[in-house]
Structure 1
Amino acid sequence: MIKVTGLVKRYGKAVAVDGLTFCVRPGRVTGFLGPNGAGKSTTMRIILGLDRATEGRALIDGRPLRELDRPLSRVGALLDASAVHGGRTARAHLRAVAAAGGIGDDRVDACLELAGLAAVAGRRIRGFSLGMRQRLGIATALLGDPDVLLFDEPVNGLDAEGILWVRTLMRGLAAEGRTVFVSSHLMAEMANTADHLVVIGRGRLLADAPIGELTGAASLEDAYLELTGKAVEFHTREVRP
């Protein structure tokens, strides 16, 4: 479980995260929804110990990530698919990460297969498309077979087949009892993936509820989200042929 309490992050006078409190529970896909610049990536970086909070706490199973034993086997994350060494092959990248976490090469091959990259495992990453890099990032997150997983905009750059694969993967991980936290700025994508939504805007919590309570009777495929500093409103738009 991920528990965020009173989280604040300031950069000088700018407030990126403003008093967030929420829980991400196991056994369901929790969507983290908000427009670009809302504070989603900053919050995830704080949860993962990559940024320090100005105030508040972010705990994984009751402890900060830095205090967890064998963290790669407890927590997996995809934050930036481009943050890899382009001169390495996909297999070499995964082997380097696995070696740092005491994970065997058999798991590397299994994750390459799961991510649909087995056929290109010997290619250098600099030649990968964004979608292929996204798949590699997901494979990296899964290396330690962790119970807690965070994915920041995982469908960026993926084609329709890849998007369906990500949706199915997320649901399958949650069905195994894992904690799955996935961010997006797209309401339609969250409607097809998440069971529960944490919605933020301007760094503030706007909603924390099962997705059905937020969308009501509106068509999920045709819904879009209007965020203001005070309210969350769901609308439907006419779809023209």
Structure 2
Amino acid sequence: MIDIRHLTKRYGRTTAVDDLTFTVTPGQVTAFLGPNGAGKSTTMRLILGLDRPTSGEALIGGKRYEQIRRPLHSVGAMLEARSAHGGRSAYHHLLWLAQSNRIPAARVTHVLATVGLHDAARRRVNGFSLGMTQRLGIAAALLGDPPVLLLDEPVNGLDPEGIVWIRHLMRDLAAEGRTVFVSSHFMAETALTAQHLIVIGRGRLLADATVDDLAGASGSLEEAFLRLTGGTPR
């Protein structure tokens, strides 16, 4: 479970996250929606301890991220897919992560197969397409078999087959009882994947609802998003 309590982050005079409060519960895919610049990535960075909040707190299983021992066993995250060293192979990038958290090497082979990179395991990352890099980032998130997953725009760079694959993967992970929190600005894809939605705009909470409740009588998530944000849905 992820608990966000009155979370605020200011950079000088700019408020990127403004008194956010919401809970991401296990057993369902929760989509984190908002236009570009709404504060989604900043919020995820705050959850993962990569930035310090101005006020409020973000808790994972009742703890701040920095309080979690061997964090890959508790939380899997993909915020920036191209974070792997380009000169390393996919296998050795994941092996380095595994060794840092006492994860067996056999798990590396398993997650590479899960994301469809088994045949590319020994290739250097700098030769990967964006879609392959996304898959490697997802493999890293899955490495410790964590109960909580945060994925920032995971469909970026994936071809149609890859989008269907990640959709089923996220649903399967949630069905196992995990907390799956996924940021996106692709409304149509979100409607096919998520069960619950957190919508923000200019750092503020605009909606915390199920897909059906937010879509309302019109049945259109895109129209609901447009009404909330005043922007253009994707």
Separation in 2, partners of 1:135, 1:76:
13
**Does residue 122 of structure 1 match 2:122?**
yes
Separation in 2, partners of 1:8, 1:69:
25
Counterpart for residue 192 of structure 2: 192
**8 Å contact 2:103–2:144 — kept in the other structure?**
yes
Deviation (angstroms), 1:139: 0.3
Separation in 2, partners of 1:235, 1:92:
41
Deviation (angstroms), 1:69: 2.1
Counterpart for residue 32 of structure 1: 32
Which amino acid in structure 2 is aligned with residue 96 of structure 1?
Answer: W
Say if 1:210 and 1:58 are closer, same or farther in 2 by CA, change over 3 A: same
Separation in 2, partners of 1:189, 1:21:
25
**8 Å contact 2:215–2:224 — kept in the other structure?**
no
Separation in 2, partners of 1:218, 1:39:
27
Counterpart for residue 69 of structure 1: 69
Write the deviation string for residues 56-95 of structure 1: whole angstroms up to 9, x where unpaired.
0000011101111221100000000011100000001000
TM-score (norm 2): 0.95
Which amino acid in structure 2 is aligned with residue 94 of structure 1?
Answer: L
Deviation (angstroms), 1:225: 2.6
Write the deviation string for residues 215-240 of structure 1: whole angstroms up to 9, x where unpaired.
1244558757326xxx457999xxxx
TM-score (norm 1): 0.93
**8 Å contact 1:75–1:149 — kept in the other structure?**
yes
**8 Å contact 2:35–2:229 — kept in the other structure?**
no
Counterpart for residue 239 of structure 1: none
Which amino acid in structure 1 is aligned with residue 142 of structure 2?
Answer: L
Say if 1:196 and 1:233 are closer, same or farther in 2 by CA, change over 3 A: farther
Task: Flag as ranges the 4+ runs of structure 1 deviating above 4 A.
Answer: 219-224, 232-236
Separation in 2, partners of 1:21, 1:55:
12
Counterpart for residue 167 of structure 1: 167
Equivalent residues in 2 for 1:206-221 (5 A)?
206-220=206-220
Write the deviation string for residues 94-120 of structure 1: whole angstroms up to 9, x where unpaired.
000001010011000000000000001
Write the deviation string for residues 152-174 of structure 1: whole angstroms up to 9, x where unpaired.
00000000000001100000000
Q: Give the % identical residues.
A: 61
Counterpart for residue 133 of structure 2: 133
Counterpart for residue 143 of structure 2: 143
**8 Å contact 1:215–1:234 — kept in the other structure?**
no
